[in-house]
Structure 1
Amino acid sequence: MKKISAPTLQEAITQAAIDFNCSVIDLEYEIIQQGSRGFLGIGKKPAIIVANVKNYQKFSTDAFEDIENHASNPISADKNFVSHYEKDLCINSSCEDAESVHKDFTNNDKFQNIHKSSETHVANSFASFQEEKEDVGELCKKIEEELKKLLSFMPYEIDRICVTPYDKQTLKIFLDGKDSALLIGEKGYRYKALSYLLFNWIWHQYHYNIRLEVAHFLQMQEEIVEQYIQNIQKDLQTSQTFKTKPLYGIFGVIMLKRLREIYPGRYITLKQEKNEQYIIISCTE
């Protein structure tokens, strides 16, 4: 459980996801204080949340493969289970005893009922997983149509709108057209606003995170961040603490995430002073 403060609720949730190194939909959080911009800076309050990672176990790729194998050949899977049981038994008794137990175990009516129940459950689980994968494609098409309606109200010529799965928990939204630069805005301020708008809509409606790409703008920002990190690596090796240059737009969030991936054992935080933000890195392991 961690307490997080940020200028807005959205930024607090995003910061929590970065701190816990997980997707936003894997978070559970309680809003302690709603952020407020105040009036002319008077009465301004930060958003404060208490966040933690949801306590559930995710299926790995191997687990889905096991489910698929079991669904196609459940008898073989049950034999493997019995084989593991026999190995454990042989540690504390003779293998002859284990063979006897094997016969009793597999001929037992209770085991047969468990086998049938297990077969049905695993097959249903796999079918549900396959159905979910198919539903993502339909969901992408639905969001594309809704995005076209939304962008039709904006004074920009955006003729390419594409929504595809990015990973298991994220959808990639690609926008391109004659007015892509205008949609991004100076220092990416329109891009950032649109990203928050789409995230709040899609996450609350469909429980997916998003990766917004406008004419490869995000990709270029990530490449610039990588180049800057390479330039400061020598300073990071010789300095106890390091402060980046002022960062604008989404640079700060991208660089914070990337630095924490490269230096997981170091204290790295995003600071903001007036209209500038920068990252502080403690080089003490």
Structure 2
Amino acid sequence: MKKFEADSLEKVYDLAKKEFECSITELVIEVIQQPTNGFLGFGKKKAIICAYKKENSTLKAAESKSYKNKDVKIEDVSSKIENSKLEEKTIVKEEKKEILKDVPKVESKEQIFDNFYGEEKGEISKIFIRKDKDIVLKEVKEGLNLLFNESCFNLEDIKVSFYDDETLFIEFLGEDSALLIGKEGYRYKALSYILFNWINDKYGLMLRLEVAEFLKNQEQAISLYLEPVIELIKEKGSFKTKPLDGILVHIALKRLREEFPLKYVAVKTNIKGEKYVLVNEYKAREN
């Protein structure tokens, strides 16, 4: 019996077939480990099987032939193989349904984004019984340590504190902390969505996430962009920012609301699905 590893079951089966130079039906296979995708690039598992070729498969195939009136009748196993594959797929689907049945429903990415950036939907807010701040900090820190202690990233102690009464501040520092940002901030955005969905749903709090000073640098960049924008708004009374990505939308929204408390300032989405901030006279909100 030999052991084989690959990224998926299909690939690992191909390795076994090539090694023994036979079809999959001539092998005895034991699945040691199912493949998993992991989380944010870590925790990924490969498919692992052990396999060996059936003994005397050629002889047994010859014995399975039956002869009558000198006509050779060979049992057609192709249909059985196809039926076996269909049964296997059905079993896998049923297992997935059983697993997913117990998984709690998570809001869609767009719903989480809208909640995170304060777009108003006119819905009744969920009522929270606020826990003591020290208890919240302790529980969040324990949850983060549980998530990242076994990761491949070399991180310092994760800092958790209250930014204000309604916002939790989480900071990741360390040698590998910049890897949590990802190309064009895609890992940062994914991490912020996940952490916000957890913290907001459980504690009713907002989130301010800092990873290797990424948030600080983004705030500086958007501040430079907004300086001439603010002057234009003061002159013309309204303005629509360029499409902004991820955390930049939130930073721009907060800054413009602070600068123009008597105007209507909100996050909008264009036909391409891009987010921008609209500043207008307050009466425009009723239209």
Tell me the TM-score normalized by structure 2: 0.51
Q: Is the 8 A contact 1:240 1:284 kept in 2?
A: no
Q: Is the 8 A contact 2:245 2:275 kept in 1?
A: yes
Q: Equivalent residue of 2:258, what SS?
A: helix
Where does residue 119 of structure 1 map in the other structure?
none
Q: 1:54 to 1:234 in 2, by over 3 A?
A: same
Q: Is the 8 A contact 1:242 1:283 kept in 2?
A: no
Where does residue 99 of structure 1 map in the other structure?
none
Q: Does 1:51 align with 2:112?
A: no
The CA deviation at 1:176 is: 0.8
The CA deviation at 1:220 is: 2.4
Counterpart Cα distance in 1 of 2:136 and 2:249? 31
Deviation per residue, 1:200-252 (Å, 9 max, x gap): 22233334332211122222222322222212223223335433233122111
Q: Does 1:231 align with 2:228?
A: yes
Where does residue 156 of structure 1 map in the other structure?
153
Where does residue 177 of structure 1 map in the other structure?
174
The CA deviation at 1:180 is: 2.1
Q: Does 1:278 align with 2:250?
A: no
The CA deviation at 1:283 is: 5.9
How is 1:140-219 mapped onto 2 (pairs within 5 angstroms)? 140-219=137-216
Counterpart Cα distance in 1 of 2:119 and 2:221? 22
Q: Equivalent residue of 1:160, what SS?
A: coil
What is the percentage of aligned positions where both structures have the same residue? 38
Q: Which has the larger radius of gyration?
A: 2
Paired residue total? 175
The CA deviation at 1:150 is: 0.3
Q: 1:275 to 1:11 in 2, by over 3 A?
A: closer
Q: 1:135 to 1:238 in 2, by over 3 A?
A: closer
Q: 1:177 to 1:266 in 2, by over 3 A?
A: same
Deviation per residue, 1:149-198 (Å, 9 max, x gap): 20134432222311112222322111111222220122322112111211
Where does residue 92 of structure 1 map in the other structure?
none
How is 1:15-164 mapped onto 2 (pairs within 5 angstroms)? 15=117, 18=118, 49-52=121-124, 135-164=132-161
Root-mean-square deviation (CA), in Å?
Answer: 3.3
Q: 1:55 to 1:208 in 2, by over 3 A?
A: closer
Where does residue 11 of structure 1 map in the other structure?
113
Structure 1 residue runs of 5 or longer lacking an equivalent are: 1-5, 21-48, 57-131
Where does residue 256 of structure 1 map in the other structure?
253
Q: Is the 8 A contact 1:187 1:249 kept in 2?
A: no
Q: 1:53 to 1:139 in 2, by over 3 A?
A: closer
Q: Give the structure with the higher percent helix.
A: 1
- Paired residue type of 1:8: E
Where does residue 104 of structure 1 map in the other structure?
none
Counterpart Cα distance in 2 of 1:12 and 1:227? 25
Where does residue 30 of structure 2 map in the other structure?
none
Q: 1:267 to 1:214 in 2, by over 3 A?
A: same
Deviation per residue, 1:64-106 (Å, 9 max, x gap): xxxxxxxxxxxxxxxxxxxxxxxxxxxxxxxxxxxxxxxxxxx
Q: Equivalent residue of 1:8, what SS?
A: helix
- Paired residue type of 1:274: K
The CA deviation at 1:284 is: 8.0
Q: Is the 8 A contact 1:158 1:180 kept in 2?
A: yes
